[in-house]
Amino acid sequence: MALVPVGIALGSNLGDRPAQLDAGIAFLRSLSAYERIRESSRIVTAPVDCPPGSETFLNAVVEIEIDPQIFPPRELLKQLQAFELSRGRTAERELNAPRPLDLDIIYYGDVIVQDQELVIPHPRAATRRFVLEPLSHLRPDLILSGQTKTVRQLLEECIP
């Protein structure tokens, strides 16, 4: 069985943010082929491109090992979205609206997906400090598909 490393960014800015991330990480652990997962430190960040008055976010990145036969990219996306709904996210996904829990696929091995439902690697991951900083705790030398610089280098160039 060839497992694929998958990076998932977690964010929460509604309700009990630490509890939301704890629940998200426990859920991701349940999807992983191994119970042991890689988890970044958590960081508090200002909302980016969110409506005025939005609360700060608690962010982290987790890397899990996925069996692509069980969870190909689109099936993984469905699982993540269903879990977000179970944690109180609304079905209508207004861009950058406050949310109890957000789970985004940052990378899925070296796979590139570009369609209306899913883009991997995440299209804005390389420019978002709230993704790059926690990801640098796990994989500073990772080069995301389509990039030429490491996560560490992207973070150094990232505007605060």
Report the CATH number at residue 71. Answer: 3.30.70.560
Smallest CA-to-CA distance from 5 within 92, 120, 109 is with 109
Is residue 71, in this structure, part of any structural domain at all? yes
Is residue 151, in this structure, part of any structural domain at all? no
Is residue 15, in this structure, part of any structural domain at all? yes
Beta bridge partners of 45: 57
Is residue 156, in this structure, part of any structural domain at all? no
Per residue in 123-135, pLDDT (tens digit) is 889 999 999 999 9
Per residue in 133-158, pLDDT (tens digit) is 999 999 999 999 989 999 999 999 98
Is residue 20, in this structure, part of any structural domain at all? yes
Does the CA dihedral 46-28-74-17 come out positive or negative?
Answer: negative
Number of domains in the chain: 1
Domain span at 70: 4-124
Is residue 148, in this structure, part of any structural domain at all? no
User: Look-up: residue for tokens 């490393």?
Assistant: 5
Q: Which pTM does this prediction carry?
A: 0.92
